Amino acid sequence: MKKTLLDKLNIPLTCKINRKLFKKQFIENFSLNATEKKIISEDVENITLEYLLNKDKINIAPFSDEENDYSEIAFIRVELLSTKRLKKLSNIIQNIPYPLIVVFADENKICINISPKRINKNDSSKLVVEESYFTAWIDLDNSSKIEQEFLESLEIKNHPFTNFLEFYNSYSNLAITFNASQYSGTLEQSVDTKELLKEIQEVELSINDIISKIKKETDIREKVNLSIELKKLNDKLESLKGKL
């Protein structure tokens, strides 16, 4: 059997599950609407629970408090037929009721999704996604030096065994740092990386919006005003990149 990316993380074999999760299970066990059922049916080839980490299988302590329940963590692989509705598909997969690290695979390309969860205050038996991070797609057959560095840093030995919350947050922070590396050129992280990346992405959206308006604008004066605004946003973007 060909080794998957998750097999290369050197997770102890005691945690190996390699259990196929059938699409029918998602349709029957979760309250999916017609569109979500269509996404599961049309966009997914296979879903596999590859590894399940808990205190009985690995020397990492569970963590729980009023907001968090990190008693165990699952590593899941999803082989795709289509990537067009990835974020909606991820929302469906994240219905699985414990913290997940999901590797989406499109032939030789992979994208990793990490979604920290909190306990639902209205129903303490349920977890809800707090925020969701997707890495950029990586071509495993043609990866850059920094992508290779990122893939190597995913190895389990590079993450804290203090407890499952710290272990999971370490992977979450690594995904954020990797996305920031497309601007900074490095996987070095600062305390501001997360906020800077968020601000950069917001500025980029504003830039794209202004460019679209300039293309449609027919009034010369308004076009000049938009161009001045665009220049300011581009300057701000470069300044933010320099802080990473």
Q: pLDDT by residue (tens digit) across 166-200?
A: 999 999 999 999 999 988 888 887 778 888 888 89
**What mean pLDDT is reported for the chain?**
91
- What is the model's pLDDT at position 81? 95
* Under 8 Å between Cβ of 43 and 74: no
pLDDT 10s digits, 88-116? 999 999 989 889 999 999 999 999 999 99
pTM equals: 0.83
Q: What is the dihedral of CA 227, 232, 237, 238, to 10 degrees?
A: 100
pLDDT above 60 (res 49): yes
Q: Please state, as a whole number, how many other Cβ atoms lie within 10 Å of the Cβ of residue 98.
A: 15
Sign of the torsion formed by the C-alpha atoms of 15, 20, 23 and 24: negative
Question: Tokens 């950069």 label which residue?
Answer: 200
- What is the model's pLDDT at position 2? 60
Q: Which residues pair with 54 in a beta bridge?
A: 72
Residue 94 CA to its chain's centroid (Å) = 11
* Under 8 Å between Cβ of 69 and 28: no
Nearest alpha-carbon partner for 195 in 216, 180, 184: 180
pLDDT above 80 (res 1): no
> Residue 186 — φ and ψ, nearest 5°?
-145, 155
Sign of the torsion formed by the C-alpha atoms of 214, 215, 217 and 221: positive
Mean pLDDT for the stretch of residues 1-12: 84
- What is the model's pLDDT at position 121? 77
